[in-house]
Amino acid sequence: MTENTKSHTPTGYPDSYVPAILTQWAAAREIHARAIEEGVAWECANEDCEHDDECPTEEFAVCKECYGISVEASEEYFTPAFTWPCPTARALGAEAN
């Protein structure tokens, strides 16, 4: 018996990888963390509202990383795509409240 007798995680990684995997998981969760930002709602951004020219800002729970990337692309609006938990955070086990 060789490899097959060694203990493995359910994903097939050897158990000895677990500390490194946990470190990487925690780092990824830290990057894709929840943050509160103020901005204009998606409906307002699409002018799908009754606010005339005075759209109020609201607070949104966003992914720090994904929202940061979106701000670099376009400073103006929040979109549902950047609310937290983002797809990456969800893949890492994050749940909305």
17 or 92: CB nearest Zn ion: 92
Kindly report the number of other CB atoms within 10 A of residue 67's CB atom.
22
Does residue 63 interact with Zn ion by CB under 5 A? Answer: yes
Site for Zn ion in 23-52 (CB under 5 A): 32, 44, 49, 51
1 or 36: CB nearest Zn ion: 36
Q: Cβ distance 83 to 65 under 8 Å?
A: no
Does residue 88 interact with Zn ion by CB under 5 A? Answer: yes
Q: In the complex, what is the shortest distance from the CB of residue 77 to Zn ion, in angstroms, rounded to a whole number?
A: 11
Q: In the complex, what is the shortest distance from the CB of residue 9 to Zn ion, in angstroms, rounded to a whole number?
A: 24
Q: In the complex, what is the shortest distance from the CB of residue 71 to Zn ion, in angstroms, rounded to a whole number?
A: 13
d(CA 77, CA 70) in angstroms, rounded, equals: 9
Q: Cβ distance 64 to 33 under 8 Å?
A: yes
Given phi > 0 = left and psi -120 to 50 = alpha, else beta, which region is 77? beta
**Which residues contribute to the site for Zn ion (CB under 5 A)?**
32, 44, 49, 51, 55, 63, 65-66, 86, 88
